[in-house]
Chains A and B, each alone.
Chain A
Amino acid sequence: MRRLVLSLALLLAANCGDDAVRGDRAEIYLQRFFGECGAEYGGATDISRVEGECGIITTMINRFNADNPDVHVDSNVVAWPGYPQLSAQMAARDPPDLVTMHTGVIPDYAAEGLLEPIEPYLAEAGLQPSALTEASRSAVTIGTRLYGLPFDTHGGLFHINTRLFAQAGLMRDGEPILPTSPEEMLVQARQFTQRTGKPYIIQSLVGDNAYAARNLYTYLLAQGAVIFPTPRTVRLQTPEAERIVDFFRAVTASGTSTRNQDTPAAIGSFVSGEGGIYPTGTWMIGQFEAEANTPGRPLYRSYTVYPYPRLWGAPVSYVSGHAWVVPRRERTPAQRRAIARFFRFIADHNFDWARTGHLPAFQAVVDSPAFRALPHRANIAPIAATGRPLPGGVQRQNAIEGLIGEEVAAAFNGQKSSRQALADAERRVNELLAQTE
């Protein structure tokens, strides 16, 4: 009995060590989404040889650890988007040192005083805020301080299977013909499905609220609608919004769209050549491009990508961004230096991250010939100019996206009327915002 208690005590003691410094290494704890692929890229350090968000970020961190033996980055992968976990950690006063965060979510945590401004780290790393793109810098600025190191700017894109498009007679001069109005899209969709027997559009309507929200936001912004008249109210019961929801509802019901798919199923479908268009984001370019370069795969040499087509109003993209934030907590000077060093590393490898498909955060990388030479970047470069984020003063953007997406996806699927979905979304979001202070 005594031995048991003793061994338990030892086990417990061994677990509460001082993890700031092990040996003479500074330990920092990093938390990110982007997926778990340790099985394939566990030890890889050659960033230029890997593809996809997951591969590249895993390899980057491995490479950082290898290049900096006096620092160790312990990384934790969370299921997207990881905010419930982060909130639990912050409530427990034990947050990570570095976290990936969507720029729209930064105001929430910053308002509660949970994030450190990062200018000191930038200074230590020798980085100038002016080196960032306009979009990135404004996305992480609150008042006069910066609360995160921008990692990228990303937006929605139409990923296109050019082989199927050719079969459907929708290719011209080697580029896909995209609709310029909602009616045209329905016509092209029907033509596509008639000629290829496959869905024109692959929609991830299940478990992917971000998809539905993105569609709504994009075309609301395109029509110049003011989504948030004040930082604490949303307006969705408008003709512009109804137009959009009715349209996608019609597309889903027309027999030219997939139904009942969640994101893994949608990705699987597109990769297997089972549909013409998969509207998702910049983050899939890397993976799909890899498929397009592999002989024998259904997408081999059959892939291209374009921003969301202009269907109403102006050609506008809804963009957001990823950033690295530093939660507030006690840190040793060695840990702070380590964080600064990590920031420097991220900045130096912004081009590698841009190989995923996301737009770089640093102007120099955007302007570089290497970036422009990457496949399809010329197609999506306009997003840098036409991209619009949501207003920075609006809090709880992640929760709001979830609410709106949930309601609107139900309308797309025909489970609710457009009016009802928009009314419910507006009510729920206003209720949520009323609780913020």
Chain B
Amino acid sequence: MTARGRLGGFAFVAPFLLCYSFLLIYPLVSGIILSFQHVDLFGGGRFVGLANYARLFADATFLRSILTTFLLALMIVPLLTILSLALALALNRATRGAAIFRGVFFSSSVLSVTIVTLIWRFVLAPDAGLLGETAQAIGAEPIPFLSHPTWSLWALAITTIWWSIGLPMMLFLAGLQQIPGDVYEAAALDRAGRWTTLRRVTLPALKRTVVLVVMLQTAAQLQIFGQAQLLTGGGPGGSTRTMVLFIFETAFARWELGYATAAAEILFLLIVMLTLTQYVTTMRGSEAEGGR
């Protein structure tokens, strides 16, 4: 290959690489450096080594936010996966009706977080919300969704599930449509019932998609910010303060930039470790089965 040919190749990838290195990698590195400094939002810092990290591990508020974040992910991901899978299974046909329903379930995903939280605030608020009004109408006690520590977590979970169900459902649908028809014909010939077909044929075929959905959603839900800030404000009593909300508050309300960046690096590490663990355990599992 000629020298010009080689350089020509560079010309195609250079524009992106420039943006990538300057706008993503450079901030990543500078963030790591910041995390080793005692520096506030307005400049001027000094090197303090691992002091920020040490302080984080002793910070009850931060540790609680880690717990809250994981708890939320645990509340959301399994439910979301199961519900979206169920919807995909139910709506996997070529009829007009199914197409309309699919559209309905995907429609919430296009809304922004501010609209979603605004809508759900007025569904969940015990006083002015739809659920509150309905409860009062039938003489029941409205659930204190936004004022009780555990219920507010559920408020966030429900809002997030409602908002995010579209994408996993689409992924499952795509996965279902990849399953060749003869597999089902073989099962039908063997007189396999509906549930058996589901368990022995459909689900194993979807394994890759399930893993993909779980990994994507876990990484996404560990980063919850908008809903926590707008719907519950991290409350009540800090019970819905996620890690990203902690980072935001530490940086912009408490001005502790170095400390906040250190927290962000810890979150980064957690996400990477969790995603890798999920990937390794599931891939090793599928290798044991002989791979697909």
Contact = CB atoms under 8 A, between A and B. Distances in A.
A409 B42 contact: no
Interface string A252-283: 00000001111011001100000000000000
A246 B28 CA distance: 48
A432 B253 CA distance: 11
A328 to B, nearest CB: 11
A275 to B, nearest CB: 12
A406 B232 CA distance: 12
A435 interface: yes
A63 interface: no
B127 A269 contact: yes
B146 A407 contact: no
B254 A260 contact: no
A260 B253 contact: no
A265 B238 contact: no
Interface string B122-166: 000111100000000000001010111100000000000000000
B61 A259 contact: no
A206 B146 contact: yes
Contacts of B149: 415
A264 B236 contact: no
Find the residue from A205, A262, A265 having the highest chain B CB count within 10 A.
Answer: A262
B70 interface: no
Interface string A417-437: 000000010011001100100
Nearest to B238: A406
Interface residues of B, number: 30
Given A206-B235, A428-B61, A83 B128 contact: no
A409 B61 CA distance: 16
B274 interface: no
Contact of B252 (A87, A207, A410, A413): A87
B252 A84 contact: yes
A265 B42 contact: no
B31 interface: no
Given A206-B236, A413-B236, A262 B146 contact: yes
B236 A399 contact: no
B236 A415 contact: yes
Given A259-B144, A396-B254, A410-B237, A114 B42 contact: yes
Contacts of B237: 406-407, 409-410, 413, 415-416
A88 B127 contact: no
B148 A260 contact: yes
A205 B60 CA distance: 23
A337 B16 CA distance: 47
A262 B59 CA distance: 28
Interface string B99-134: 000000000000000000000000001111000000
A90 B253 contact: no
A327 to B, nearest CB: 12
A84 B232 CA distance: 17
Contacts of B238: 406
A91 interface: yes
B119 to A, nearest CB: 15
Find the residue from A114, A209, A260, A407 having the highest chain B CB count within 10 A.
Answer: A260
B248 interface: yes
Interface string A187-213: 000000000000000000111010000
A366 to B, nearest CB: 34
Interface string A130-171: 000000000000000000000000000000000000000000
A206 B129 CA distance: 15
B233 interface: yes
Contacts of A209: 235
Given A91-B42, A265-B125, A428-B61, A409 B236 contact: yes
Nearest to B229: A84
A268 B238 CA distance: 25
A112 interface: yes
B41 interface: yes
Contacts of B236: 205-207, 406, 409-410, 413, 415
B19 to A, nearest CB: 15
A402 interface: yes
B127 A399 contact: no
A83 B40 CA distance: 15
A415 B146 CA distance: 14
Given A207-B235, A260-B127, A399 B144 contact: no
A90 B235 CA distance: 27
A432 B255 CA distance: 10
Contact of B248 (A84, A398, A424, A427): A84
Nearest to A402: B253
Contact of B253 (A84, A424, A431): A84
Nearest to B231: A207
A84 to B, nearest CB: 4
Nearest to A112: B42
A91 B39 CA distance: 12
A206 B155 CA distance: 14
A45 B127 CA distance: 35
Contacts of B148: 260, 415
B42 A261 contact: no
B256 interface: yes
Contacts of A410: 236-237
B252 A261 contact: no
Contacts of B259: 435
B127 A265 contact: yes
Given A260-B142, A406-B237, 15 more contacts: A87-B41, A88-B252, A205-B236, A207-B232, A260-B127, A262-B146, A265-B127, A268-B128, A269-B127, A398-B253, A399-B253, A406-B238, A409-B235, A410-B236, A415-B236
25 contacts: A84-B249, A84-B252, A87-B41, A112-B40, A206-B146, A206-B235, A206-B236, A207-B232, A207-B236, A259-B144, A260-B142, A260-B146, A261-B127, A265-B125, A396-B254, A399-B254, A406-B235, A406-B238, A409-B235, A410-B236, A410-B237, A415-B149, A424-B60, A432-B254, A435-B254
Interface of B: 40-42, 59-61, 125-128, 142, 144, 146-149, 232-233, 235-238, 248-249, 252-256, 259
Interface of A: 83-84, 87-88, 90-91, 112, 114, 205-207, 209, 259-262, 264-265, 268-269, 396, 398-399, 402, 406-407, 409-410, 413, 415-416, 424, 427-428, 431-432, 435
The 9 closest A-B pairs by CB, nearest first: A410-B237, A84-B252, A260-B147, A265-B127, A260-B144, A206-B147, A91-B41, A260-B126, A207-B233
